[in-house]
Structure 1
Amino acid sequence: MSTFLIRNAKIVNEGVVFEGDVLIEDEFIKEIADKISPKSSECIIIDAEGSYLIPGAIDDQVHFREPGLTHKGTIASESRAAIAGGITSFIEQPNTVPNAVTQELLEEKYQIAAETSFANYSFMMGGTNDNLEEVLKTNPRNVAGIKLFLGSSTGNMLVDNQEVLEKIFSSTKMLIAVHCEDEATIKRNLEKYKEEYGDDIPMKYHHLIRSDEACYLSSSKAIELAKKTGARLHVFHLSTQKEMSLFTNKIPLEEKQITAEVCVHHLWFSDKDYDTKKAFIKWNPAVKTEADKDALWEALLDDRIDVIATDHAPHTLEEKKNPYTSCPSGGPLVQHAVVAMFEAVHKEKISVEKVVEKMCHNPAKIFKIEKRGFIKEGYYADLAIINPHLPWNVMKENILYKCGWSPFEGTNFKSRVTHTFVNGKLVHVNGKIKEVKVAKRLLFERE
Structure 2
Amino acid sequence: MINKVKGTYDVLPNELGKWYFLEQKIKEITKKYHYYELRTPIMEYSNVFHRETELSDMVTKETYNFVDKGNRDVTLRPEGTAGIIRSYVENKLYVASDLLKVYYVGPMFRYERPQKGRYRQFNQFGLEAIGSKSSLLDAELIKLSNDFIESLGLENVTIQINSIGDSESRTNYLNALVSYLTPFYEELSNDSKERFKNNPLRILDSKDLNDQKIIENAPKPIDYLSSYSKKYLDDVLKYLEIFNVKYNLNNKLVRGLDYYSEVVFEVLADIKGLGNGNVLGGGGRYENLVSELGGPQTSAIGIAFGIERLLLAIEHQEIVKEEVSEIDSFIITFSENEKLYGAKIFNLLRDKGFNVDIEFNNKNFKQQLKKALAKNSKTLIIIGENELKNETVTLKNTKTEIQTEIKLKDLITNLEKEIK
Same fold per superposition (TM over 0.5): no
Bigger radius of gyration? 2
TM-score (norm 1): 0.26
Q: Which has the higher helix share?
A: 2
Question: Under a length normalisation based on structure 2, what TM-score does the superposition of the two structures give?
Answer: 0.27
Structure having greater relative contact order (Cα 8 Å, sep ≥ 6): 1
